[in-house]
């Protein structure tokens, strides 16, 4: 799939070549991983990624490839840079200055800035595209939100100082891995609030994508489609059109009304069979994925509109969640090709109606997702997890 993604783009899909780890290993386009860079060895150039790619693909490569394919006619001299300083299994604070991955990241950015001058290249950084993993699933909301903001402050400040452009935020929202029972996943709501506070976009959610293990990891074809949706979001953002279907929530006694900020012409769709191969919606996503303190009597979506009316079992409920179930769905994978294809434990069958065919897999459909959320109730007041008022769609 890597070859298909860069077909026709040789010389325009680039990476930072010539870096070495402290152990002497050559750094490939997918980065140094958990190894510190040798910062005494400069990069040799911003150069064609194709010979170094080795058939690999992924979310970032797919997103950048899509961007070039849709803009290249108007901008034939334009290219896209792909570089990765991250590694799986780490909390987000590891991307801060003073941490291994953070120091690698800023060294790589600095080398991009230096080489851009040397090679007479203009660098722009319109967005930080951040596909956030599940590693912070046990962190408190305050810790997760604090780390997200610290990392994004540093990244946005660095880019603004270096390139005179403060990038926006486009993020993938963390879904729940297959056994979330002991994990609060407050990081999922921290992502929601941090992105909204910065005027960014939640491009997609991990939870809507099939995974190929009993955790949260995807096959390459799914990673490619995630990249496609991220660039679809970027395309809409660049055109000043709305993207994220932010939730607005009102409560009156036992009645809660949730409105999603859909795009013009969109409605809600109930993909009732979405989890049939993964435990079924009735078992793993009752009430369309809404949950509340004390339980829920009913959840009724307006499938011609954008609202869901939820009747609580108790008017004095203190919390309310959507697609953030704490459940173990390990038993519900589908054996296929020697792997267990599974689905995130954060679930709802409700989706925005607008879809698009995949460019790389024309027989497959790209769906937009509703963001997961978790709020608190104080009487009829709806609050964030820090006790401040929850704000609806911007």
Do 221 and 253 have their domain in common? no
Q: Does 305 lie in the same domain as 196?
A: no
Residues 225, 207: Cα–Cα separation, whole Å = 14
Residue 82, domain member (yes or no): yes
pLDDT of residue 4: 47
Q: Are residues 207 and 296 in the same domain?
A: no
Residue 389 lies in a domain: no
Task: Please count the structural domains in the chain.
Answer: 2
Q: Is 391 domain-assigned?
A: no
What mean pLDDT do residues 279-290 have?
97
Q: 220-238 vs 59-71: helix axis angle to the nearest 10?
A: 40
Q: Residues 208-252: pLDDT tens digits?
A: 999 988 888 888 899 999 999 999 999 999 999 999 999 999 999
- Inform me whether the pLDDT recorded for 11 exceeds 80: no
Q: Over 70: is that where the pLDDT of 73 sits?
A: no
Domain co-membership, 268 together with 226: no
Reference 57, options 34, 85, 29; nearest CA is: 29
Per-residue pLDDT, 56: 65
Q: Scanning the structure block, which residue is given the tokens 């994925």?
A: 289
Residue that wins the pLDDT comparison between 164 and 82: 164
User: Looking at residue 20, what DSSP letter applies?
Assistant: B
Assess whether 228 and 312 both reside in one domain.
Answer: no
pLDDT reading at 3 higher than 50: no
List the single range of 6-10, 208-212, 344-348 with lowest mean pLDDT.
6-10
Q: Are residues 232 and 270 in the same domain?
A: no
Phi/psi at 163 (nearest 5 deg)?
A: -115, 5
The pLDDT assigned to 89 comes to 82
pLDDT for res 132? 72
**What percent of the chain is modeled with pLDDT above 90?**
73
Which domain-ending residue is among 221, 238, 255?
238
28 within domain boundaries: yes
**Residue 253 and residue 294 in one domain:** yes
Res 1: pLDDT: 34
Instruction: Return d(Cα 305, Cα 328) in angstroms, integer.
Output: 32
Question: What count of Cα atoms within 13 Å lies in the side-chain half-sphere of residue 264?
Answer: 3
Are 226 and 262 in a shared domain? no
Is residue 166 domain-resident? Answer: yes
Q: Are residues 54 and 133 in the same domain?
A: yes
Question: Do 167 and 263 lie in a common domain?
Answer: no
Average of pLDDT values for 248-268?
A: 98
Of 238, 262, 296, which one is at a domain's C-terminal end?
A: 238
The answer to whether 377 and 319 have CB atoms below 8 angstroms apart is yes
Last residue of a domain, one of 238, 267, 289: 238
Flag whether 264 is in a domain: yes
Confirm whether 261 is domain-assigned.
Answer: yes
Inside any domain, residue 308: yes
**157 and 219 both lie in a single domain:** yes
Q: In terms of residue numbers, what domain contains 185?
A: 2-238
Tell me: do 198 and 313 sit in the same domain: no
User: pLDDT tens across 137-171, in order?
Assistant: 999 999 999 999 999 999 999 999 999 999 999 99
CATH number at residue 21: 3.40.50.1110
Once rounded to an integer, what is the mean pLDDT over residues 88-105? Answer: 93
């Amino acid at each position: 799939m890597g070859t298909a993604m860069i077909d026709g783009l040789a010389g325009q899909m680039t990476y930072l070549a010539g870096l070495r780890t402290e152990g002497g290993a050559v750094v490939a386009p997918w980065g140094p991983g958990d190894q510190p860079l040798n910062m005494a060895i400069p990069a040799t150039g911003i150069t064609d990624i194709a010979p170094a790619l080795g058939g690999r693909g992924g979310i970032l490569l797919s997103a950048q490839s899509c961007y070039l394919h849709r803009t290249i006619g108007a901008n034939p001299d334009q290219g896209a840079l792909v570089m990765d300083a991250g590694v799986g299994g780490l909390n987000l604070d590891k991307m801060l200055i003073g941490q291994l991955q953070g120091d690698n990241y800023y060294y790589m950015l600095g080398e991009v800035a230096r080489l851009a001058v040397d090679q007479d290249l203009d660098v722009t950084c319109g967005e930080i595209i951040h596909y956030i993993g599940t590693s912070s699933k046990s962190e408190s909301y305050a810790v997760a939100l604090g780390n997200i903001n610290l990392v994004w402050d540093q990244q946005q400040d660095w880019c603004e100082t270096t390139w005179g452009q403060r990038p926006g935020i486009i993020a993938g929202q963390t879904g729940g891995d297959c056994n979330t029972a002991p994990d609060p996943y407050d990081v999922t709501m921290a992502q929601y609030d941090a992105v909204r506070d910065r005027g960014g976009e939640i491009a997609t959610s991990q939870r809507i994508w099939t995974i190929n293990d009993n955790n949260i990891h995807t096959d390459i074809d799914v990673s490619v489609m995630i990249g496609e949706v991220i660039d679809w979001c970027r395309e809409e953002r660049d055109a000043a059109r709305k993207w994220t279907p932010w939730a607005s929530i009102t409560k009156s006694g036992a009645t809660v009304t949730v409105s999603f900020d859909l795009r013009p012409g969109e409605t809600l769709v109930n993909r009732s069979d979405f989890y049939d191969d993964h435990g079924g919606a009735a078992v793993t996503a009752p009430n369309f994925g809404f949950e509340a303190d004390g339980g829920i009597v009913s959840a009724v979506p307006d499938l011609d509109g954008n609202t869901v009316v939820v009747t609580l079992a108790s008017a004095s409920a203190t919390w309310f969640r959507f697609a953030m179930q704490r459940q173990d769905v390990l038993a519900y994978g589908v054996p296929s090709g020697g792997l267990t294809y599974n689905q995130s434990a954060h679930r709802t069958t409700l989706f925005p109606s607008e879809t698009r065919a995949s460019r790389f897999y024309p027989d497959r459909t790209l769906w937009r997702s509703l963001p997961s959320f978790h709020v608190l109730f104080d009487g009829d007041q709806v609050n964030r997890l820090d006790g401040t008022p929850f704000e609806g769609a911007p």
